[in-house]
Structure 1
């Protein structure tokens, strides 16, 4: 498990992209002193097995309980804690029940830490990539059937 977390953190330092093709370079707004992380975008690429997440902590601090889905953060490395919201209709029936059982039994272990290098004036959309080759019982018990990813970056200046 620790190896997977470290691999995820290392992967993110280079900004993982859902499509396998890096997006066009993003130029942050001149003079911006913050960046954003978001767990909601209207056009999440489910066809690429990317699904919504919920960001529950940023750098160890709980996120607000209101309906806010975009969080302003200082530039630099930020550690997010996320949980997946993978559409159960996209999973085999046996996997759905095993995932529900794992989340019920494991509680906090169902969440994953995720490191994102935030640049000033850039918004990062965070999602959960379903790993279809990891839908076996052991991978589900280990919460290894998905990984957090940055699936979109866009310029967004601070107010």
Structure 2
């Protein structure tokens, strides 16, 4: 009888672990202001995995690979690009459970013209631990 109770408890514990994995997530953030003195500026997430999203400061996502479409919010007088002429860039990332990735636009005009969005690139400027759950 004790073996049966022990096996049932172990099964319940393992099922609990599986469900915790099922609700695991990470966070992608674009709301934090990156250090402009390092040539980093805020971005806006417009699509996640090919689907348009409502603009938010952060998104809870399942762990794994995600494709993001970002628009830069560079506020630098050297840019000289009309808002309508600004372009989006794609960023593919690998998100781990309980991880937060802070996104930014790296602004660089060295040897580049603002044509076609070459004046910036999307970057992960910081990674940090962040408890996260997708449980309803």
Unaligned runs of 5+ in 1: 1-29
**Deviation string, structure 1 residues 22-79 (Cα, Å, up to 9, x no partner):** xxxxxxxx9671001011114x1111000000001110111124xx211001111111
1:9-158 correspondence runs (5 A)? 33-42=24-33, 44-65=34-55, 68-89=56-77, 91=78, 95-96=79-80, 99-100=81-82, 104-105=84-85, 110-135=87-112, 139-158=113-132
TM-score normalised per structure 1: 0.65
Structure holding more helix per residue: 1
Structure holding more strand per residue: 2
- Say how many residue pairs are matched: 113
Taking the aligned partners of 2:40 and 2:96, their CA distance within structure 1 comes to: 23
Unaligned runs of 5+ in 2: 1-19
- Kindly report structure 1 stretches of 4+ aligned residues shifted beyond 6 Å: none
TM-score normalised per structure 2: 0.75
Kindly indicate whether structure 1 or structure 2 has the higher relative contact order, using CA contacts under 8 Å at least 6 residues apart: 1
Aligned-residue RMSD, C-alpha: 2.0
Which deviates more from structure 2 when the two are superposed, residues 74-83 or residues 31-40? 31-40
Name the larger-Rg structure: 2
